[in-house]
Amino acid sequence: MAIIINGKEIASDLCKKLSQKIEALKKKHNIFPCLKVILVGSNPASQVYVRNKQKKAESIGISSETIILPDNILEDELIAKINELNSDPSIHGILVQLPLPRHIKASRVINTVSVEKDVDGFHDENVGRLVKGEKNCLTPCTPKGSLHLIKLVESNLSGKNAVVIGRSNIVGKPMFHLLLQENCTVTILHSQSRNLAECCSKADIVVAAVGKPNFVQKDWIKKGAIVIDVGINSANVGGQAKLVGDVDFDGVKEKVKAITPVPGGVGPMTIALLMINTVIAACLQEKIDTSDFVDQSL
Ligand code: GUN
């Protein structure tokens, strides 16, 4: 029987523990972690994600505000807003929800966020630190949360074959580097890759982040593999809109050692890791040792 990895419960436990650490940060150091989320426009999926982030932050003692800006805001106006947040020492984390409207250059926006407030870990300097395997950098939340789930099933990943499907800057590429740091042999598959099924069938770990419903099939997967489904897709199931992942869950679950469901797998972990990154960012800015406040396995 496969382990169905309960990301919702694991994320909730992480947040409960973190809320106690936040309490201690406030009492011992007079530091009140603060996260600002910027939402440009009215993308419905982004609105839901941003609302969930703010709700979770508030529930564990992180002060949080969502700044909603119009779709037609000028790039320079958005940059000015980020610079204002950068220079406010009471703000520890800044997140600009993606995607941005097409007239705005996302890379300029991402690189305007101060490196130490970049709770998404998307700034070029944080990406560079991740690639070099440096400790104490801000690392993208979804891959970090996914790795945590994998390591709860299998603590030593050394020498394992890992396949990441998808090469986005948000998930695929950082996931590659995190697995490499765990001494996995890592392959990235993408839209131009050949023999996807054959490559996957050799993998001990599969992380699917392609954004295609039920893309990964049972016959691609090795018996006893760990499968992490990052996909959040809307699909029509029996005439009703349902959230489904990138993996054919019902087929694949019969073969694997462990698998994440959608919803309730990776999604809640992304938010939990954002909370953890906000506390790390607060510690970095206030020159406090993160090890007192954040579990070092994260
Ligand atoms: N859009 C989809 N995922 C993410 C994320 O992790 N961070 C931000 N800022 N935007 C996203």
Q: How far is the CA of 144 from the centre of ligand 1 (A)?
A: 13
221 Cβ partners below 8 Å, 6+ apart? Answer: 200, 201, 203, 206, 227, 252, 255, 256
In tens, the pLDDT along 96-115 reads 999 999 999 999 999 999 99
Q: How far is the CA of 97 from the centre of ligand 1 (A)?
A: 5
Residue 296 pLDDT class (50, 70, 90 cuts) = confident
What letter would DSSP give residue 257? S
What does the mean pLDDT of the chain come to?
Answer: 97
For the CA of 141, the closest atom of ligand 1 is: 6
For the CA of 95, the closest atom of ligand 1 is: 9
List beta partners, residue 67: 38
Instruction: State residue 297's pLDDT score.
Output: 80
84: its two tokens = 């204002």
Residues flanking ligand 1, CB < 6 Å? 95-98, 120, 141-142, 170, 270
Q: Determine the Cα–Cα distance for residues 24 and 46; give it in Å rounded to an integer.
A: 32
pLDDT greater than 80 at residue 157: yes
Q: Of residues 120, 204, 229, 248, which has the active-site annotation?
A: 120
223 Cβ partners below 8 Å, 6+ apart? Answer: 255, 256
Specify whether 217 is catalytic: no
pLDDT greater than 80 at residue 136: no
In tens, the pLDDT along 78-93 reads 999 999 999 999 999 9
Instruction: State residue 174's pLDDT score.
Output: 98
Instruction: State residue 280's pLDDT score.
Output: 96
Instruction: State residue 37's pLDDT score.
Output: 98
127: its two tokens = 């990406």
Contact yes or no for 11/268 (Cβ under 8 A): yes
DSSP E strands in the chain: the ranges are 3-4, 34-40, 63-69, 93-96, 161-165, 185-189, 205-208, 226-229, 233-237, 240-244, 258-259
Centroid of chain to Cα 149: 12
Q: pTM of the predicted model, to two decimals? A: 0.97
In tens, the pLDDT along 191-240 reads 999 999 999 999 999 999 999 999 999 999 999 999 999 999 999 988 99
Q: In Å, what is the CA distance from 199 to each residue of 104, 225, 229?
A: 37, 13, 17
Q: Of residues 21, 53, 117, 173, which has the active-site annotation?
A: 53
Instruction: State residue 293's pLDDT score.
Output: 85
Q: Of residues 21, 81, 97, 160, which has the active-site annotation?
A: 97
What letter would DSSP give residue 225? -
289: its two tokens = 């040792």
Residue 261 pLDDT class (50, 70, 90 cuts) = very high
Instruction: State residue 260's pLDDT score.
Output: 98
Ligand 1 pocket: which of 66, 97, 141, 232 to mutate (most atoms <8 Å of CB)?
Answer: 97
